[in-house]
Structure 1
């Protein structure tokens, strides 16, 4: 691994040099263990601790198959699917690996007693398998997390509809929270050249998810002038939704949980902000009954911020806690688009407010290859920016996942894999200088932790 890292850090390494580098027999990866899948049985979600279930193990380098690539991972990040994996909920990911392993002799590699997790990366291609023409050793890349087989016609109009669609590093093995990752070559995209390794790794999953959910015709199809209610508007998903709304001429109504998070939204350019804790919204009377009076109070507050208009789109991902309110406050003919359920999967709402007002609920999951590419292109052009607030070492991934689980973070948290320090990997200093304040926005909000980009190139 040291020779690989030296080659990446050197300024004069040629593609053929990367191709000739010997691969190590093993690498370090963040894992969960199959024999520990029941370790949290009986505990409520909040009491489950990722620091106990996530391990940093030395694991064998997987066999490289056709259409695949091995990537030296410089940096990765923590998504909520990594938290779910670490908590073994709503189910153990080893069931995903077992099912994938039954698909073919090649996919059998993924069915192991350990799961190397992680659905983001930035790094350098080390090897490509047979049939890979678009990428070569030495290419600096990021990876989106869509894994598809495309042997069925169902996936050829929208790859997310492939019956064998999976999320890499969650429903497959050999993910990005590691020193080496195995990906399908069609997951690779060019690394934005003005970003450091950890900045480039941060947007992947959440940026593409927010793009499909909000902008794409497969999601809400946002247009100029739309009022968009964004739950968790300074979080991993919401921070990108807020940027897409602002960049697309829409009006984000940002729902946050603290003054600090409200301030981040203002600094992104949002004006309509609701601090749900300060205004003490309680959408549930008790465990089984919601409070429609709170829906109405919430709707009134939104109209105060929009000049009397209801929202056209609700960007939903909390799920159970907020879904009834989301359906209620959406305008007649509007859209509630949902991609997750971080507060619970069983959603309850009053269907009268849906059917009689001709509203739509749209399910949205990650993004197809085209949507992921378009979302990454906007990052590369400096139209959308990383929302990285803090960076951890690979050894600290358990703590990073814990902080995300307990909502102690802003935006996204990054993880350094092979990269020895923050700020490396910048190739275009002139472009970076134009966007440095935006790149550092979430770091500045977390300045007390001392995590700020240096802009150093290497």
Structure 2
């Protein structure tokens, strides 16, 4: 990979050797949560925990660079729901992950620290590579996916997500992307889409790759042309990519959202079937302990109104407890419910008669392997899938950015500028960008959403 300049000014080309000769700082600014604060929200309900109190921006020492690794100057990053989980110390503090990783080897022990540098996305420039890295050179503009694997076991060599030592970088490992410098494995790196700015390029990684495996890959639902795909939270960070992938793959997304503003975003993406579940008053639970099958049936009838009488082939699940019973019910006979998260609760309840007697499948899906992440990034680079960035914060305000995602005040993705001094920098292919500018800016309408329950 050739080195490229970060300025794009037409000045003489800067070589990989020039970048490799740059002195590295002893410390850098990073977003952290702290081990001695993991009990700060004890007794406070999940919904009321405030990331702005737990997220810090501080100077941290530069980590040692190991074999097969790279140090990347992070121009921009973004907030994912695992950032929220890290910041509110739920479902459990992430320091247990770091302690277990640290026991694996002397090199892994670097990660076991009293602070955790979080963040699972980045766009930036390679600064240094460790022994054994050949493809990626200092100066190369890159994005990173968040799968960290060791691959010392045979289990991971058919699908790296099955590696017993598979971890999510910046969540289950340290030195994440919400920082001025990040430490990654070289097999996390992918080419930065040339037509996107730093903050735009940083926003798809985790969610786009997750949606690709969950929906498109043979390891997930294996979506095909003509499939009806029910997408919960279809304008959100994850659902917005599922919606685009469904449309690009010839499927019919049925987009479930929680406000008229979010419904409009889905229509702007090209979706025709949209359900505002708040406006239509769906309440799948009678109380904390009992679901309401009548609401499942009403929801299924509404879906059939939008599909010409057909049930859904695939349900793109991630809310979890709140919606899972309805998801199992509305899936067609022989269909698939594919789930990757449980943002409303991990204990799912459903009526198994609607699963076993109708030969439905529940498929668990978690992030993506390198090939799946690469294919998902390739679609972005070709202008087939677009960033869903709605708002960008400076690094110093990452706590507020995380609060926005936790409170569902955002549409699409929330970005964070790290070393990039302002938005809009880093674009190399202006011709491709011009062809897709409206789609790139689709989520950038400047509206603040009301808090939703």
User: Against the structure 1 CA distance between its residues 414 and 171, is the aligned structure 2 distance closer, same or farther, given a 3 Å change threshold?
Assistant: same
1:38 alignment partner in structure 2: 39
- Displacement of 1:15 in angstroms is 2.0
Q: Is the contact between residue 77 and residue 122 of structure 2 (CA under 8 Å) also seen in structure 1?
A: yes
- Report the secondary structure of 1:56's partner residue: strand
Instruction: Give the gaps of 5 or more residues in structure 2.
Output: none
- In the other structure, the counterpart of 1:419 is 420
| Cα offsets for 1:391-422 (capped at 9, x unmatched) | 00000100000000000000000000000000
* Residue 174 of structure 2: aligned partner: 173
Q: Deviations over 1:183-203 (max 9, x none)?
A: 000000000000000000000
Per-residue deviation, 1:128: 0.1
Instruction: Provide the C-alpha distance between the structure 2 equivalents of 1:251 and 1:118, rounded to a whole number of angstroms.
Output: 32
1:277 corresponding residue in structure 2: 278
SS of 1:9 mapped into structure 2: coil
Shift of residue 16, structure 1, vs aligned partner: 1.8
CA deviation after TM superposition for structure 1 residue 14, in Å:
2.7
Determine the C-alpha separation between the residues in 1 that align with 2:81 and 2:7. 31
Query: How do residues 65-104 of structure 1 correspond to structure 2 at under 5 angstroms?
Result: 65-104=66-105
User: Is 1:253 matched up with 2:254?
Assistant: yes
Corresponding residue for residue 114 of structure 1: 115
Q: Which residue of 2 aligns with 1:128?
A: 129
Task: String of CA shifts for 1:301-332, please: whole Å, max 9, x gaps.
Answer: 00000000000000000000000000000000
Q: Following the alignment from structure 1 to structure 2, what is the Cα–Cα distance between the partners of residues 332 and 287? A: 29
Q: CA RMSD in A?
A: 1.0
Partner of 1:3: none
- Give me the whole-angstrom Cα distance separating, in 1, the residues matched to 2:285 and 2:48: 22
Structure 2 distance, partners of 1:313, 1:447, is 31
Partner of 2:370: 369
Runs of 4+, deviation exceeding 6 Å: none
> TM-score, normalised on structure 2?
0.97
Q: CA deviation at 1:17?
A: 1.4
Matched residue of 2:444: which SS?
helix
TM-score computed with the length of structure 1 as normaliser = 0.96
Matches within 5 A, 1:42-441: 42-441=43-442
What are the superposed Cα offsets for residues 116-173 of structure 1, whole Å, 9 maximum, x if unpaired?
0000000000000000000010000000000000000000000000000000000000
How far apart in 1 are the matches of 2:6 and 2:430?
18
Q: Secondary structure at the match of 1:443?
A: coil
Once the two structures are superposed, residues 282-306 of structure 1 have per-residue CA deviations (whole angstroms, 9 ceiling, x without a partner) of 0000000000000000000000000
The answer on 1:27 being equivalent to 2:25 is no
> What's 1:456 paired with?
none
1:54-96 CA-to-partner distances (Å, cap 9, x unmatched) read 0001000000000000000000000000000000000000000
Which residues of structure 1 form unaligned runs of 5+?
1-6, 450-458
- Give the drift of 1:9: 3.4
Give the drift of 1:447: 5.5
- Deviation per CA, 1:27-75: give whole Å up to 9, x if none: 0000000000010011110110000000001000000000000000000
Secondary structure of residue in 2 paired with 1:377: helix
Structure 1 CA distance for aligned equivalents of residues 167 and 408 of structure 2: 26
Structure 2 Cα separation of the partners of residues 300 and 8 of structure 1: 53
